[in-house]
Amino acid sequence: MIGLLLDDQSFEQDIRELLMAFYPGERFLHEENPDEEFRLLVRGVTGEDFFRLSLEDKELGITKTSTTEADFSDRFETKNRIKRMLYGMAGELTGRKLPWGTLTGIRPVKIAMTKLLSGSKEEEVYGYMKETYLTSDQKVDLSLDIAKRELNLLSSIDYENGYSLYIGIPFCPTTCLYCSFTSFPISQWEKRMDDYLEALFKEMEFTARRMEGKILDTVYVGGGTPTSLSAEHLEKLMEKLKETFDFRSVKEFTVEAGRPDSITEEKLKVLKKYGVTRISINPQTMKEETLKIIGRRHTVEMVKDRFRSARSLGFDNINMDLIIGLPGEDLEDVRRTMEEIKSLGPDGITVHTLAIKRAARLNMYKEQYGDLKITGTQEMIDLTASYARSMRQEPYYLYRQKNMAGNFENVGYSVPGKACIYNILIMEEKQTIAACGAGTTTKVVFPSENRLERVENVKDVEQYIARIDEMIERKEKMLAKSEM
């Protein structure tokens, strides 16, 4: 437990998020309670032109206090001064250095890209990230490498006159131990899938009418697991997509096949028939024991079989998702997984570092899963990067999440020409992304104001079906606002 006692809450979120990186998994309490056992007590005092922090480590019996000058009219600079001060104090108490320094946001590449677009040279970007955020050399190099590649990949995208489309299928064969996404067991919805698709198609029809005249750049069908749908329902969805939206300018059409236990040859043929250009078959790990622990019902052999089946049908852009830091796995487990993946030869791999969200079963039932050892290390990350390079794959997008094992990042790699443009667009937030389906979020970009606003659909499938007109009305209001 961490007690976070601040006399001014202006920088509470920034302080809390950085503390979460140093003390992952700790809960926070915003009052001093004698009945609670605190690991750390953090006190913040705000003066007219200063900010003082005190960290009392109850386990070590050590208290550290430090003060920084503060110009509260410049929130950005003051926030970064406070975070650098806190980083030094927490680093001394824990003996840790964070690879991303004081950065707690999920889009570090955006910093490098913005600087490059404004005319800064690479060495200036390097110096800025080191000085402002205390970012390690390795992570600055990675950010710059990806930023340059993203700028090239997005050079043909018309942000103002174009848009991307996301279709959400919030159903899975089972719920994985670490998952916090909007997902419902397909077995409970199979008999009512026509009801869901009817509501979804209504929202799709509205979206197509509302976006008429704009260029559709990318289409991404995700979830959940879209291939948890029956072949019949999957074909209905693909047919409706093609007849509702203008695909003539679409640069990529992705479907998350995801769970190997949801994939059949019949479903792959449906995707091929309707021109899907990119699919993702996600093993997460190639260790049978771990697959059972995390609730995946497929086997390693099933992964290989479904991958080879997709290749034989002509899919030439197949991504595979992996997770580093899964319960009980060590460096050798990661190495064995990468050897198996390399033997298959996918066109892309996306390496995730485990992030345990509040809604995940692994977090909700800590007592039940408390003995599971979760370790994510820089050595594991470096190993996956080395294997990606040996497969001629380059990093092309990156994002971070809170509560990640080891405070690292998720990186997408691909061979040249096979990068997922949609993945970059969703991270860089430069283009409007219209989203349809339960639990999806539409992001509307206001280019002249350099900002975006979100419109969220309800997560519950029953509510989505019942309130579909309300979802459409929400979207209409925001899209109309963007055109004013």
Q: How confident is the model at residue 177 (pLDDT cuts 50, 70, 90)?
A: low
- As a whole number, the mean pLDDT across the chain is 89
Comparing CA positions, the residue from 480, 455, 458, 454 lying closest to residue 467 is 458
**pLDDT tens sequence across 105-147:** 888 999 999 999 999 999 999 999 999 999 999 999 999 999 9
- What is the phi-psi region of residue 124: left when phi exceeds 0, alpha when psi lies from -120 to 50, beta otherwise? alpha
Please tell me the predicted confidence (pLDDT) of residue 174: 64
d(CA 74, CA 283): 47
Options 3.40.50.1820, 3.80.30.20, 3.40.50.11900, 1.20.1440.230; CATH of 154-474? 3.80.30.20
How many angstroms separate the CA atoms of 399 and 109, rounded?
A: 8
Q: Whose structure tokens read 């028939």? A: 273
Q: Would you say residue 351 has pLDDT above 90?
A: yes
pLDDT score recorded for residue 361? 40
> Treating both helix axes as pointing N-terminal to C-terminal, what angle do 108-117 and 122-133 enclose, rounded to 10 degrees?
140
Measured at the alpha carbon of residue 327, what is the angle toward residues 321 and 328, in degrees to the nearest 5?
Answer: 115
CA distances from 19 to 25, 111, 233, 341 (A): 10, 22, 46, 36
Q: Report, as an integer, the average pLDDT of 232-243.
A: 98
Residues 438-467 have a mean pLDDT of 92
pLDDT for position 164: 97
Task: Lowest mean pLDDT of 9-13, 97-101, 377-381, 452-456, name the range.
Answer: 377-381
At residue 193, the pLDDT reads: 93
Q: What percent of the chain shows pLDDT beyond 90?
A: 71
Residue 401 banded pLDDT, cuts 50, 70, 90: confident
pLDDT tens per residue, range 182-219: 566 777 777 889 999 999 999 999 999 999 999 999 99
Q: pLDDT digit string (tens) for 256-311?
A: 997 888 999 999 999 999 999 999 998 999 998 888 887 777 789 999 999 999 99
How confident is the model at residue 184, as a pLDDT? 67
- Residues 85-101 have a mean pLDDT of 95
- pLDDT interval class at 404 (50, 70, 90): low
pLDDT at 358 over 70: no
Q: Check whether 16 has a pLDDT greater than 50.
A: yes
pLDDT surpasses 50 at 168: yes
Query: Where, residue-wise, is CATH 3.80.30.20 in the chain?
Result: 154-474
Mean pLDDT within 23-28: 85
Among left, alpha and beta (phi > 0; psi -120 to 50; other), residue 25 is left
Peptide bond into 439 cis (omega under 30): no
Q: What is the 3-state secondary structure (H, E, C) of the chain?
A: CEEEEECCHHHHHHHHHHHHHHCCCCCEECCCCCCCCCCEEEEEEECCCEEEEEEEECCCCEEEEEEEECCCCCHHHHHHHHHHHHHHHHHHHHCCCCCCCCCCCCCHHHHHHHHHHCCCCHHHHHHHHHHHHCCCHHHHHHHHHHHHHHHHHCCCCCCCCEEEEEEEECEECCCCCCCCCCCEEHHHCHHHHHHHHHHHHHHHHHHHHHCCCCEEEEEEEEECCHHHCCHHHHHHHHHHHHHHCCCCCCCEEEEEEECHHHCCHHHHHHHHHCCCCEEEECCECCCHHHHHHCCCCCCHHHHHHHHHHHHHCCCCCEEEEEEECCCCCCHHHHHHHHHHHHHHCCCEEEEEECECCCCCHHHHCHHHHCCCCCCCCHHHHHHHHHHHHHCCCEEEEEECCCCEHHHCCEEEEECCCCCCHHHHHHHHCCCCEEEECCCCEEEEEEHHHCEEEEEECCCCHHHHHHCHHHHHHHHHHHHHHHCC
- The answer to whether residue 368 scores a pLDDT higher than 60 is no
Residue type, 386: S
| CB-CB contact of 150 with 108 (8 Å) | no
Query: pLDDT at residue 367 above 50?
Result: no
The pLDDT assigned to 403 comes to 56
pLDDT at 355: 59
pLDDT score for 359: 37
- The type of residue at 345 is G
The predicted structure's pLDDT at residue 258 = 79
Give me the mean pLDDT over the 48-57 stretch.
Answer: 96
Position with higher pLDDT, 81 vs 448: 81
User: What does the alpha-carbon distance between residue 80 and residue 86 come to, in Å, rounded to a whole number?
Assistant: 10
Per the rule left: phi > 0, alpha: psi between -120 and 50, beta: everything else, 61 is: left
Does 175 score more than 80 pLDDT? no
